[in-house]
Structure 1
């Protein structure tokens, strides 16, 4: 892959590089959300969903899911159907507020077990990571090669500012759900999940109140007037060593990590059909409407600052854009040398120490599933982020989900899904997924296939799920085929 980028304001470069380092591969298996076959994966969208599942047990052996959206850069000339040999990434031009959101999730041995028709439990392990970046309006052009060239078109965009937060952790969870109320018209299920975690990495960086003024002597330059900067990362990241293998490094991250915890709450109201089942048919799991409401990831992870974390304010007297360019040159090859150069640039600098906390991506989710006919359903979901209500008083990460509508055709063994999603960055994506036996595979955005500039707008997921053995019973007109003699 070719690379095309030029030098811009060092603080913004730092934030962007931190963001880019976390683009890898959450909790968003859009295709099956609301489905009664979601089972052990559905628990992460609503703990109550594990009750209304027509299998005695199921296990997600392994699931990987990820999503990314950014307007900072674009990968060109590449899709899943093309060769990466001629691809390139470029920083996007023009005036805009920059953003980037990444969410990733690895499910390991997620299990669901039905105690009986009215009670179920679930448990397992997940590795999760989120990264959010956002900035004030600023101009960027490909021809900007110096600090002065970057500052000149941004005179009217003061103060400059940007912030980045990353949080990744490993969690163990346990869920209990049961039927609360049941009669001929409907059924209410409720559930709760407790998660205990270890923070693998926590990073934050911000630039605020970046101010400057022009002068000419003898060439056009800029006087750097003020800045407030802060960057910190968790001390366990200092244990990472190129001399160790990946397994040793990951064990060290977990060994020196801090503990965290969070809770999920959920309820589902199933509205039954008015039809009368035929003799030998079991319509216990059937419904006309299923309405779910959940409160997810209410909690936090905590981290201890590395000795290399810093906060800084102001600039040294007579600090200019040209001086700044000299101080941050090619000799900067580590965070320690960066700190040394920064100390000669700013008016005040001090180390960050102690424990800090990053809120998990708390959100409220409303999910409505409607049976249509045969094996056809339509699912709609509204997801509202809650962590941001604390404003700048807390570090937090967020999901990009907002509104998703998913028509699906589905049986216990096969499924075709067509999710349409409108996210928090006002992007409309059309995805697709299929299920074949134990395999679930999907893409959040079909632009991954049909466009050569959408690789940083979308994502995908794959999961291997095994279910309790036994062939399904005789097919009813309803969509849910319950294995015979399970209950």
Structure 2
């Protein structure tokens, strides 16, 4: 049996590559029109007036099945089997990418809007879940006289080549001091130049060397499907480079910038409006979120599927000319129709950038594939996380990304931008230092950068020279950049001087002090400048708020009418005192305790109303008991009950300084303790006015 035919039949490959482009360069704030690749919002508030890309090429290749030292690969005597290391797995995956950014440019429509037009050529391939163990066995140990088994299972393969012509619009959504938000969208017209794909389900191949007599036999099961565009022949030997599909794609993105030092770089335009120069980065932290490559291509082509469940002889298999003949003549075709659409490698990008100082930055970027590798004719990127420190300036940037790439591991690269030239790799340092390198990528290109210019302000007064009335003398924005005059020489500028031609006092807005009401108190010190008063009351007459004949300055209760004899406060009459104690005597306590019964609440509220009517009066809360029990215990109980009543009143808003709690025990009976009724009268609380 022909070894190469069997190898092709089971379609085994084991390579994996990074699906990203221009790794490292994409983090640079001076990447210009390249910014639309990862996030269309990048082009607004750019460091460029215009950026014109002439040509840029990014290619990426990697491998998790095979590794070797980079220098050995370049040698003439390099042997694939002997000079490298194979690491087969049950499910190897592959995806590759060539990305060519053709003539493209971006420019600013105005301070809040930008536009970009770009051309791009791309080649992507994916191979998912190919059994590298089987490939390793066949390539190293195959013997036509020995049996072997292939348990491939499911796999997916696809390759797609297309060109893009796109337009990007980006705008500033929020610009509020520390907070800056911009968004962008790219609309892309897609032109397909070739597509081929294949898939398999539950594939098992069993080769019996003895077979039936003189030849071996092949038992197989499972399903194989393949499709391709019309410009690729079914045997995949010929390819015609013509457009064979149309489609549309969309990229969306948002970027938020935190600008805590906005006041340090904010100047004003000719109208006095805040203006932030576009030639500098203004953020401390920047966060980006984007979704790229939403879309697909519908090729003109065919798709065929076959059930390969059969048992055939080795001779029958070898006698068929090509792969398609083997499928058509030896196995059962189960469907045939138009080729399925080719789905673009849709991805989600999350980006965070930290401006450590003016020139040094740290970038964290994550690219996540949104497409499923189990779907037919679908491209996808490798999931990747990159940490990229960089030095960045107007004419030169250097970056060194360290990335963890799905199925490939850690990659370390370097790149630089020097004016119109950019060149770099996301893996070059790993390739040069590793004895078992699994991948490599590289990019390079040329552009014409036209940078934003720095607005001039010779006198550093915040007014641009082109609108500064005194460009060499600092002055305020409100006076067109010129200093304010002081006509009367009183150190109060005319703009703030209410008496610009008469020397006055700074505190009086440039005017001399007056005494409008002629009360001997200058208006600056007079709280009632238009009403004659007295010096002691800051130029105001003494008030009598409650009109009780006692001036507020002498009135201890200025808002409650009282008597002159009681310093303006109301006097507590004997009748009110009697009412107060009648209420107090009805306060009930739990037997033998100082806790007030709930039914006494209303009585206490009435007592509070009386106390509030005499806000300047102080009272004693006196507790009394009958003679039942010992003298010490009665004394203690009377004190606790008096204090309990006081605490209740204080909690409800009575000033504690107005109340004094006293306990008299059984020492002051008001009735005989010989009888129950008398003892009940003696168990009481009194609230008495403290007379001065």
* Residue 178 of structure 1, aligned match among 171, 187, 194: 171
Which residue matches 2:449?
467
2:47 is equivalent to residue 50 of structure 1: no
* Residue 210 of structure 1, aligned match among 203, 213, 233: 203
Q: Is the 8 A contact 2:156 2:198 kept in 1?
A: yes
Q: How does 1:19-30 map to 2 (within 5 A)?
A: 28-30=21-23
2:344 is equivalent to residue 357 of structure 1: no
Q: Is the 8 A contact 1:36 1:52 kept in 2?
A: no
2:212 is equivalent to residue 229 of structure 1: no
2:246 is equivalent to residue 259 of structure 1: yes
Q: Structure 2 vs 1, CA of residues 77 and 35 (structure 1 numbering), >3 Å: closer, same or farther?
A: closer
* Residue 111 of structure 1, aligned match among 97, 105, 124: 105
Q: Distance in 1 between matches of 2:413 and 2:76?
A: 26
Q: What residue ranges of structure 2 are gaps of 5+ in the alignment?
A: 268-275, 457-464, 467-692
Q: Deviations over 1:178-200 (max 9, x none)?
A: 00111111111001000011111
Q: Is the 8 A contact 1:439 1:462 kept in 2?
A: yes
Q: Is the 8 A contact 1:272 1:289 kept in 2?
A: yes
Q: Structure 2 vs 1, CA of residues 68 and 279 (structure 1 numbering), >3 Å: closer, same or farther?
A: closer
Q: Distance in 1 between matches of 2:38 and 2:193?
A: 23
Q: Is the 8 A contact 2:64 2:407 kept in 1?
A: no
State the shift of 1:294 in Å. 0.5
Structure 1 stretch displaced more, 418-427 or 49-58: 418-427
Which residue matches 1:129?
123
2:160 is equivalent to residue 160 of structure 1: no
Q: Deviations over 1:90-118 (max 9, x none)?
A: 49354432222101111111211111221
Q: Structure 2 vs 1, CA of residues 338 and 351 (structure 1 numbering), >3 Å: closer, same or farther?
A: farther
Q: How does 1:75-474 map to 2 (within 5 A)?
A: 76=68, 78-79=70-71, 83-90=74-81, 92=86, 94-137=88-131, 138-139=133-134, 140-141=136-137, 142-146=139-143, 151-152=148-149, 154=150, 158=151, 160-212=153-205, 223-238=218-233, 249-250=240-241, 253-254=242-243, 257-274=244-261, 276-277=263-264, 282=277, 285-306=281-302, 310-316=304-310, 318-320=311-313, 322-323=314-315, 326-327=318-319, 332=321, 337-346=322-331, 348-349=332-333, 352-388=336-372, 391-392=374-375, 394-446=376-428, 447-451=430-434, 453-454=436-437, 457-468=439-450
Q: Distance in 2 between matches of 1:150 and 1:411?
A: 65
Q: Distance in 1 between matches of 2:146 and 2:256?
A: 59
Which residue matches 1:68?
61
Q: Give the 3-state SS of the residue equivalent to 1:237 in structure 2.
A: coil
Q: Is the 8 A contact 1:119 1:178 kept in 2?
A: yes
Given the two structures, how large is their TM-score scaled by the length of structure 2?
A: 0.57
Which residue matches 2:581?
none
Q: Is the 8 A contact 1:68 1:100 kept in 2?
A: no
Q: Deviations over 1:312-358 (max 9, x none)?
A: 11344x425x3476246xxx4xxxx3322332321x12673324201
Q: Is the 8 A contact 2:53 2:446 kept in 1?
A: yes
Q: Structure 2 vs 1, CA of residues 358 and 82 (structure 1 numbering), >3 Å: closer, same or farther?
A: closer
State the shift of 1:443 in Å. 1.1
Q: Distance in 1 between matches of 2:198 and 2:10?
A: 11
> Number of matched residues?
439
Q: Distance in 2 between matches of 1:240 and 1:7?
A: 15
Q: Distance in 2 between matches of 1:159 and 1:82?
A: 30
State the shift of 1:465 in Å. 1.8
State the shift of 1:453 in Å. 4.6
Q: Is the 8 A contact 1:199 1:259 kept in 2?
A: yes
Q: Structure 2 vs 1, CA of residues 144 and 290 (structure 1 numbering), >3 Å: closer, same or farther?
A: same
Q: Distance in 1 between matches of 2:183 and 2:48?
A: 18
* Residue 27 of structure 2, aligned match among 28, 34, 39: 34
Q: Is the 8 A contact 1:115 1:121 kept in 2?
A: yes
State the shift of 1:162 in Å. 2.6
Q: Distance in 2 between matches of 1:367 and 1:69?
A: 24
Which residue matches 1:477?
none
Q: Distance in 2 between matches of 1:231 and 1:148?
A: 31
Q: Distance in 1 between matches of 2:214 and 2:69?
A: 40
Given the two structures, how large is their TM-score scaled by the length of structure 1?
A: 0.80
Q: Structure 2 vs 1, CA of residues 327 and 206 (structure 1 numbering), >3 Å: closer, same or farther?
A: farther
Q: Deviations over 1:386-440 (max 9, x none)?
A: 1118x43x43100114211110001121111010111122511011101111111
Q: Is the 8 A contact 1:26 1:105 kept in 2?
A: no
- Aligned CA RMSD, in angstroms, stands at 3.6
Q: Distance in 2 between matches of 1:276 and 1:181?
A: 17
State the shift of 1:7 in Å. 4.2
Q: Distance in 2 between matches of 1:274 and 1:417?
A: 25
Q: Structure 2 vs 1, CA of residues 100 and 239 (structure 1 numbering), >3 Å: closer, same or farther?
A: closer
Which residue matches 1:479?
none
Higher relative contact order (CA 8 A, sep 6+): 1
State the shift of 1:376 in Å. 0.3
State the shift of 1:220 in Å. 11
Q: Structure 2 vs 1, CA of residues 204 and 239 (structure 1 numbering), >3 Å: closer, same or farther?
A: closer
State the shift of 1:70 in Å. 2.4
Q: Give the 3-state SS of the residue equivalent to 2:337 in structure 1.
A: coil
| Structure number with larger C-alpha Rg | 2
Q: Give the 3-state SS of the residue equivalent to 1:352 in structure 2.
A: strand
Q: Distance in 1 between matches of 2:419 and 2:98?
A: 24
Q: Is the 8 A contact 2:9 2:323 kept in 1?
A: no
Q: Distance in 2 between matches of 1:278 and 1:120?
A: 22
Q: Distance in 1 between matches of 2:130 and 2:235?
A: 33
Q: What residue ranges of structure 1 are gaps of 5+ in the alignment?
A: 1-5, 475-483
State the shift of 1:88 in Å. 3.9
Q: Deviations over 1:351-371 (max 9, x none)?
A: 733242011011111111110
Which residue matches 2:555?
none
Q: Structure 2 vs 1, CA of residues 227 and 303 (structure 1 numbering), >3 Å: closer, same or farther?
A: same
Q: Deviations over 1:264-295 (max 9, x none)?
A: 01011111033642698947641101111001
